[in-house]
Structures are given as structure tokens and as C-alpha cells.
Amino acid sequence: MNSAVVDASVWVAAVHKASVHRPDSYACLVRLRELRWQVMVPTIARVEIACALARRWRSPARARRTTTTLLKASATTEWPLMPGAIERAQLIGTEQYLRAADAIYAAEAVSSGIPLISWDAELIRRAGAMSPTTWLQANT
């Protein structure tokens, strides 16, 4: 089974109607599901997604509901932040000058040898992530 780590930026863009990245984010998540790829996120993704949506929508309850529904509907696998994962994130994050949460996503993708899908320019430049648009072009 193919797998991919999907950054919070993709999830937020997929459901936030005002996002310029909404069409490709939504299409990417749909295509991942159609191809039956295992979609992976760190447990912190739930917090990142819900908080980003709450800030945009000014509705905490809606943000929490949407995040839960979104992750369940996508059959997403959440991995816990265990000491080994934290050490890998610290290593890659300091070597690539990443923000803390971004380092967690990048470390899992690198250590698992699977793609990281993100809109974050630093993750794309420094950690080998690909945008949803790039991933779609390679998988349609």
C-alpha cells in the first residue's frame, strides 16, 4: 500500500472556501482516497487543523467538528509523538532550519521513505515536500 504524509496546510486549504489552494487540496485528498493510499499525520495535526480553521471561521465548535469529520472521512492514520519521532524531528528540523511542527511532518516522511504533501514553501524547498498540484500531476 502506498502512503503519504499530508501537512495541515493541505487539510485547511481543502475545506476553507476562500483559499486559493482549495481546488487542488480537495482534489488531492479525493485522489489519495480513490487510490487507497494510506494518509498519515502526526497527532498534532488535529490541533493545527482545528486551530487554523477556528481562526478563519471564528467558530471553535465548527472547526473541531470539521477537523474530526475530515480526518475520519479520509481514513487518516495518526501517529503519536513518541521519543524516537521527536528525536528524528529535532535532527531534521535543526539541519534544515524548519519550524517545529513542520519538522515533525518532514521527519516522518523521510524516515518512512514516503512523500510529504504540503503547501509550505519551506517544506518544499528544504525537506523535499511536494505541493498537492505536483502530487496530482504525478498521480492522475
Close Cβ partners of 121 (under 8 Å, ≥ 6 residues apart): none
Angstrom distance (rounded) from CA 138 to CA 94: 30
The pLDDT value given to residue 70: 94
pLDDT in tens, 5-62: 999 999 999 999 999 999 999 999 999 999 999 999 999 999 999 999 999 999 999 9
Tell which CATH classification among 3.60.15.10, 3.40.50.1010, 2.40.50.140, 3.40.35.10 matches the domain 3-138: 3.40.50.1010
Per the prediction, the chain carries an average pLDDT of 96
- Type and span of the H or E element at 5: strand 3-6
- Looking up cell 481543502, which residue turns up? 14
pLDDT in tens, 80-107: 999 999 999 999 999 999 999 999 999 9
Residue 137 pLDDT > 90: yes
DSSP annotation string for 27-83: HHHHHHHHTTPEEEEETHHHHHHHHHHHHHHS-HHHHHHHHHHHHHHTTPEEE---H
Amino acid identity of 107?
A
What residue segments make up the domains of the chain, in order of their start?
A: 3-138
The pLDDT value given to residue 66: 97
* Bridge pairing between strands 77-79 and 38-42: parallel
The pLDDT value given to residue 75: 83
pLDDT in tens, 51-89: 999 999 999 999 999 999 999 988 899 999 999 999 999
**46 contacts 13 by C-beta, under 8 angstroms:** no
Name the pTM for this structure: 0.96
